[in-house]
Structure formats: C-alpha cells, structure tokens
C-alpha cells in the first residue's frame, strides 16, 4: 500500500568519518517488506549520544545515518497479511503519526523472552547501523526511515507537538525505564545528577509521581537553573546529604556516579543511567553498600511498555513542564553540519533537524 506519487529517491545525511563533514546523499526509497513500514520523517532531535559519535568519543559503524530520536508519518506499509502493528496490536496505516523504539528486537531469543528486549541478540539500532546497499535509511537524519519487524511503534496523540514528541523514544522512555526500576517515588526524597534532557525529565517524572522533594545537581549553572521549572525543589552544585531514597545518575561523569552512591540513604536505590561512553573507573566502598542495604541498578534503553509510558507522560504533562523549550533551535537537513556544530559549541539540551 503506497501513496500515489511515491518517490523513488530521497536525501539522507551520511556520516562516514570523525572530523569529516556529514554528506547529503541521494538514496533509493525502499518498499517495505513483511512487517516493515516506511515512515516520512517530520523531525529528528540530536541526542547526546549522536554528539559522542560525531566527536569520536563513542565508536559506531560507518558510514551511517545518525539520529534515533525520530518521529514521522507512515508513508507505506507492506501489503498482505504481514503488516507491522503498533504496541497495542493495531495495524499501522498510511498517515499514522508515530514514534518508535530506538531498537528492533527479535522477540524470541532468551533476552527478549527474559524481559530485556533492548539487549536482543540480534538487535537492530536506529541511527547506529552501517549503511548497506539494500538498507540505507535506518537513521533520523534523512527524509525517510524504514521501520524493521520487531520495532515497538506507538501512535502519537495529535496534540503533542513534534519537538516535544521527538525525544520520547530515547530520553523520555529511558527515564520511564529508570523510574520503573526505582519503584514508587511517592513521598520519597529524590536526588538527580545531571541537568540535561534525562535529568530534567526525571525531575518532572518524580514531581508527577508525588516525591516529597526533588534535588537536582549539576556543575553547569545555566542547565541547573532550568531545573526549577521541571519540579526540582533544590538546585545543587555539590551534594553533601546522604539521606536520599532514590538517586538517579544521569550525567555519566565518574565523580557524579561516586557522589550518587554516597548520597543514598539506608535502604536507598541508586539508578545509574548516564554512563554510556568509556570513562574513568570509580572507587566503591563495598562495606557502605552492604551496611546501608543499597540497591544499585543499571538502566540502558528500555522495554516497549516504557515507550508507551513516555508518550502518555508527555501527553499529560507537556503543558505543566516546559519540554518545548528544551529544543532550542531547528535546522534543515541541508544544514545538518551546522546543527552538529551548533550543538557541540553551544551545548543546548537539544537541536532539531527537520527534513
Ligand atoms: Zn539518544
Ligand atoms: Zn531477541
């Protein structure tokens, strides 16, 4: 099933080497196969991990089309019985506005069956796959993306603006997974390290969940100042307390990881999320973990249900918390190099690329 006027070619921004400009190429628009769907991208926000790959701090197969915080409109689905469905089991139809999981999972390996599909043994990650002749459109910095079988697709409420919906499938869903891992936050003392997209979103989730107080710690004053509007009740440059029930480490800085473990109360939970690129090791006092009955959880990516939670959260709270302000500037696909340079130089929470 395709729209009349189906295009044969489209533009994609291909990243081939660190230090080289991203190149806009004309590539063929594929017809979706069984349980695949072709999406016309309407917005892609550049995530911190895209910047890590762009700067060489994180290795990625190349050439690749970067960008995984993507939303778009279904342009074509496979004809016949093998149609991709959304997470609710509804058939995707041409014209549906959707977000989707950062990775596609097989659904049948022992990790998928064990509840960690984000670690599927044959994982396909949007914005991280090498471009091959038969599959180039796997990232967000392009006009189209081909959704794979095993992708968790969620239809977007029409009232959710593009810029707010875009980070749902990375930052917001990861926070939903972190909050699920932490358990009920009602009445808890919550401490968050890192006032980026993840940290600010965590403050909003904790506030909405009824936390007793929400402290946010960051060394960057400008970022920290945004915390109050996301529900943070204390803005801290350093942390000296050790009576926090739920501690979220979203920055990835080794010193913050150490502070997070030291800041947890007896019986507390420490959720480590930010450490996604190589960094210095951290000295841990095991006696502290044992005697204080601490639980330390690592959270990386998420399950399909967390993406549903993320979209519902944004739908319910996007007017209470200023998520729209976090995307500071939008660039066209032709200006994708300027978008990365702006993001590296100015460190905004997010920039958007609109094909
Ligand atoms: Zn991301
Ligand atoms: Zn699997």
Mean pLDDT across 292-309: 97
pTM: 0.94
∠ CA 264-268-274, rounded to 5°: 65
Distance 119 CA to ligand 2 centre (A): 7
Residue pair 72/30 in contact (Cβ under 8 Å)? The answer is no
CATH 2.40.110.20: does it fit domain 9-169+322-354? no
**Nearest ligand to the CA atom of 117:** 2
The superfamily (CATH) of domain 175-298 is NAD(P)-binding Rossmann-like Domain (3.40.50.720)
**Looking at residue 6, what is its pLDDT?**
67
189 Cα–ligand 1 center, Å? 27
Domain with CATH 3.90.180.10 in the chain: 9-169+322-354
List where CATH 3.40.50.720 sits in the chain: 175-298
Q: Which two tokens stand for residue 171?
A: 């930052």
Ligand with minimal distance to 44 CA: 1
Q: Is pLDDT above 60 for 1?
A: no
What is the pLDDT confidence band of residue 5, given thresholds at 50, 70 and 90?
low
pLDDT grade, residue 320 (50/70/90)?
very high
List, as ranges, residues with CB under 5 A of the ion ligand 1: 47, 49, 170
C-alpha distances out from residue 262 to 192, 214, 284, Å: 13, 17, 9
What is the CA(123)–ligand 2 centre distance, in A? 7
Ligand number with the minimum distance to the CA of 109 = 2
Q: Which uninterrupted H or E stretch holds 235?
A: strand 234-236
Cα(37)–Cα(57) distance, rounded to whole angstroms?
A: 32
Q: Which pLDDT band, with edges at 50, 70 and 90, does 278 fall under?
A: confident
CA 260 – ligand 1 centroid, Å: 22
Residue 103 has pLDDT above 80, yes or no: yes
């Amino acid at each position: 099933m395709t729209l009349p006027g189906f295009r044969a070619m489209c533009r994609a921004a291909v990243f081939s080497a660190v230090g080289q400009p991203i190149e806009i190429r004309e590539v063929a628009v594929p017809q979706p196969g069984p349980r695949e769907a072709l999406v016309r991208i309407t917005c892609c926000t550049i995530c911190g991990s895209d910047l890590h790959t762009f700067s060489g701090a994180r290795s990625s197969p190349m050439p690749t089309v970067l960008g995984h915080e993507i939303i778009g409109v279904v342009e074509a689905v496979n004809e016949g019985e093998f149609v991709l469905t959304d997470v609710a089991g509804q058939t995707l139809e041409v014209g549906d506005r959707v977000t989707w999981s950062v990775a596609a999972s097989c659904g049948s390996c022992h990790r998928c069956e064990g509840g960690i599909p984000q670690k599927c043994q044959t994982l396909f990650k949007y914005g991280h796959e090498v471009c091959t002749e038969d599959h180039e459109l796997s990232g967000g910095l392009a006009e189209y993306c081909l959704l794979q079988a095993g992708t968790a697709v969620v239809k977007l409420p029409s009232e959710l603006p593009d810029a707010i919906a875009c980070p749902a499938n990375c930052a917001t869903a990861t926070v939903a997974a972190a909050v699920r891992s932490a358990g009920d936050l009602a009445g808890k003392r919550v401490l968050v390290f890192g006032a980026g997209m993840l940290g600010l979103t965590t403050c909003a989730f904790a506030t909405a969940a009824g936390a007793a107080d929400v402290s946010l710690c960051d060394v960057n004053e400008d970022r920290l100042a945004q915390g109050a509007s996301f529900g943070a009740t204390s803005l801290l440059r350093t942390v000296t307390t050790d009576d926090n029930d739920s501690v979220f480490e979203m920055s990835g800085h080794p010193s913050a990881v150490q502070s997070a473990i030291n800041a947890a109360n007896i019986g507390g939970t420490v959720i480590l999320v930010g450490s996604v690129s190589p960094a210095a090791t951290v000295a841990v006092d095991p006696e502290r973990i044992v005697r204080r009955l601490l639980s330390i959880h690592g959270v990386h990516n998420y399950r399909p249900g967390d993406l549903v939670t993320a979209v519902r959260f944004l739908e319910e709270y996007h007017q209470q918390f200023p998520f729209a302000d976090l995307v500071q500037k939008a660039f066209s696909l032709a200006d994708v190099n300027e978008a990365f340079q702006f993001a590296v130089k100015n460190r905004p929470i997010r920039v958007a690329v609109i094909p």
